[in-house]
Amino acid sequence: GENVEQHPSTLSVQEGDSAVIKCTYSDSASNYFPWYKQELGKRPQLIIDIRSNVGEKKDQRIAVTLNKTAKHFSLHITETQPEDSAVYFCAASNPDSGYALNFGKGTSLLVTP
């Protein structure tokens, strides 16, 4: 089955700096890659997603890049703010498993003022 690896597990940045989180996946059949933000005790919320026919997508301060050949994708957050502090999860969706999501183990991001 699909295996998604995510790094780093924790990340601390100063307010205004950029943050980058990287993920790799193993199954070339995976074709949809969402990123979720989860605050403590809350449900995951989608922040951005990308499909396998696109290399990059941007939404204001958030961008995602995808390298299908290398099977890795990354989340970039620019001009970080304290409210960006949360756990971020990458995931990969595979048609062979009903498009269920295979998640990375998460990155705990702390943005200090």
Partner 1 sequence: DGGITQSPKYLFRKEGQNVTLSCEQNLNHDAMYWYRQDPGQGLRLIYYSQIVNDFQKGDIAEGYSVSREKKESFPLTVTSAQKNPTAFYLCASSMTNNEQFFGPGTRLTVL
Give me the residues that bind partner 1 (CB under 8 A), please.
1, 4, 6, 31-32, 34, 42-46, 49, 89, 93, 95, 97-106
Nearer to partner 1, 43 or 113 (CB): 43
DSSP for 84-102 reads G-EEEEEEEE-GGGTTPEE
As measured in angstroms, the least distance from the Cβ of 16 to partner 1 is 28
Q: What burial class does residue 10 get, using C-beta atoms within 10 Å of its C-beta: 0-12 exposed, 13-18 middle, 19+ buried?
A: exposed
Nearer to partner 1, 79 or 85 (CB): 85
Chain centre to alpha carbon of residue 10: 13
Nearer to partner 1, 82 or 95 (CB): 95
Identify the CA nearest to 77 among candidates 48, 106, 42.
48
As measured in angstroms, the least distance from the Cβ of 81 to partner 1 is 21
Nearer to partner 1, 1 or 113 (CB): 1
As measured in angstroms, the least distance from the Cβ of 93 to partner 1 is 6
Joined tokens for residue 69:
């050949």
